[in-house]
Amino acid sequence: MLYQKYVKMHIKSSMQYRLNTVFLSFSQAVVAVSELLAVYVLFQTFTTVGTWTFYDSLLMFGVVTTVFSFCECFFRGYDSFAEIVQSGELDRLFIRPVNIHYQILGAKMEFSKLGKFFVGVVVSIIAVCKLSITWSIWKVLVLLGMFVCGVVVILSLMILGAGMSIYTIENLEFINIFTAGSKDLAYYPINIYQKWLSRLFTYVIPVACFNYLPLTYLVGGGTLLPWVYALSPCFGMLIMIPCVLFFNFSLKKYQGTGT
Amino acid sequence: MPSIIEFQSICKNFKISLKNKGVWGSFLGLFKRKYKTIEALQNVSFSIEEGDIVGYIGPNGAGKSTTIKIMCGILTPTSGTCQIAGFVPWKDRKKYVQHIGVVFGQRSQLWWDVPVIESFELLKDIYKIEESAYKETLQLLDKTLNLSPLFHVPLRQLSLGQKMKCELAGALLHKPKILFLDEPTIGLDAVTKLAVRDFIKYINKEWKTTIILTTHDMNDIDALTNKIILIGKGKVLYNGSFSVLKNKYARTKTITVEFAKEYKTIQIEGYRVLEHNKNVATLQNEPTTEFHTQHFIEEVCKKYEIVDFSVSSISVDEILAQLYKEYEL
């Protein structure tokens, strides 16, 4: 498959700077661990935040870190799409007989993010073991759904940002408010925040759909019917549709105007 | 020969947002913008026949790259129709681009940090080239460009000339019917330039590839093309054979004369003195005078004693400079 070839090429490229990649990976892991410490220290003082204990937050930290680093590694093409536009590489994508989205996915990868990814996975496993959850097949599916939904939501935000950068030809820090902002927000239960903020991160940018809502299903509680919580990751993934449509529209616009 | 590229009254307008001055202005610009429409191409029509090598020339900002981008399917024109190899480039993109190859002189399509051959193999997969066809093509390209010593070197370690050879090969692996070359010889040394030109000619002859070439190097045009399209300010100004154009301007000759001694002033009827330094002078015939060697010598020898002289035709660069001047570009 072509995608595998792309991955292979990126691995070979980063192998040219082996030491650099290793160090970057390591520093990414250290950054993730230090963020984790911040969460830990908070729980040393408060024991619970909202309805969550340390291990609830720990699972969220694990999910968010895993999902983010995965997206930053494999969807780098959307994440730094402005560079692709600026360097004229976008023109190059148009002259290849391959779908544009497929090519963007293949265009850039950042393997140093895998250091962070590793931390995220380990933390998630620890948290899942420590949380007292009575497991069923549905709960396992919902847990997996959290990761999938997380990846889809972050990817969608990246695609949205990429679409915008066609107009501005700059990477928009603006979109980082939502990506990076939602990250720190997601370590704690969303109902502790102001109403407008929790609504924003539930309905507009469905961050809650891959942390607070499905976690409520896993650990029990909540005021709504259980299936609402269980299916929330599926709802969250719908964000992809408008984002991709917007991006494709922007691409059409690019063909109409050039730069 | 049937025409492979058919461009019919293509127009392309760009809307450019005008930037306000100052910090306050750019802040206001976030809410309200003024736009200016720029007509990059105005009613551009031409057709190119299969197997032609066409030089697409014009000063900077004339609309060359816009035209190329439309032909490659990157941009959609504001109005007009275009048929290339039976396709409308910006529709049916994926099928169309299988038939074209593109080399942008200053931008690479190969991977910077990976040995060249691996980039080629990725292209093989992108264009779904069959293994046997790929091997055969690669062999031919290697034979004519002598690429195999470069195959296992990462692109970043290659010289500019070596890179250009690899770029050309990369654009031709899928044996496109049409090859677009955007300044293919820019920055190359003389030897590589000649090699690249020879290669372009060879491919054109061997595969009957139609080649469209933009360049500022007039020797490229002279050596390669049998037809030129001159564009300026978004309009086609000349479309036809280059030799016709050359003959038109070839009437002007530059004559360098070495005299036996230093003369204060030199005056020869029908000729203008371009330069006069000690006992050497450079002359040019006036547009009204037809240059005739014998006649010229007789004229000069009437008044002066000469040692040596040489005649040269106007250079291709000068022809173009005159053309630009004529069309006020």
**Nearest Cα to B174, choosing from B114, B223, B127, B221?**
B127
**Nearest Cα to B94, choosing from A245, A1, A94?**
A94
Write the CA distances from B275 to A105, B69, B249, B257, integer angstroms: 62, 44, 21, 10
pTM of structure: 0.86
Q: Averaged over A70-94, what is the pLDDT?
A: 92
Average pLDDT value for chain A: 90
At the top level of CATH, the class of B49-79+86-247 is: alpha beta
- The A residues from 11 to 40 touching B (CB cutoff 8 Å) are 12-13, 16-17
Please state the ipTM of this predicted complex. 0.86
With contact defined as beta carbons under 8 Å apart, do B122 and A5 qualify?
Answer: yes
pLDDT surpasses 60 at A259: no
> Chain A contacts of B109, Cβ < 8 Å?
92
The pLDDT tens digits of the residues spanning B277-295 come to 888 888 888 878 888 888 8
Contact B72 A94 (CB under 8 A): yes
Task: Please count the other Cβ atoms lying within 10 Å of the Cβ belonging to residue A19.
Answer: 7
pLDDT surpasses 90 at A125: yes
Task: Parse chain B into domains and list their residue ranges.
Answer: 49-79+86-247, 253-313
The pLDDT tens digits of the residues spanning B164-210 come to 999 999 999 999 999 999 888 888 888 889 999 999 999 999 999 99
Task: Please count the other Cβ atoms lying within 10 Å of the Cβ belonging to residue A20.
Answer: 11
Q: Which residue has the tokens 């057709």?
A: B47
Taking the C-alpha atoms of residue A205 and residue A236, their distance in angstroms, rounded to an integer, is 8
With contact defined as beta carbons under 8 Å apart, do A140 and A217 qualify?
Answer: no
> Chain A contacts of B125, Cβ < 8 Å?
2, 5
Task: HSE, CB side, 13 Å, CA atoms: give it for residue B206.
Answer: 13
Taking the C-alpha atoms of residue A97 and residue B98, their distance in angstroms, rounded to an integer, is 6
The pLDDT tens digits of the residues spanning A134-187 come to 889 999 999 999 999 999 999 999 999 999 888 876 656 677 777 777 777 888
- For an interface test with A, the pick among B88, B99, B109, B113 (most A C-beta atoms closer than 10 Å) comes out as B113
Taking the C-alpha atoms of residue A245 and residue A239, their distance in angstroms, rounded to an integer, is 10
The pLDDT tens digits of the residues spanning B73-96 come to 999 999 999 999 999 999 889 999
The model's confidence at residue B25, banded by pLDDT at 50, 70 and 90, is low
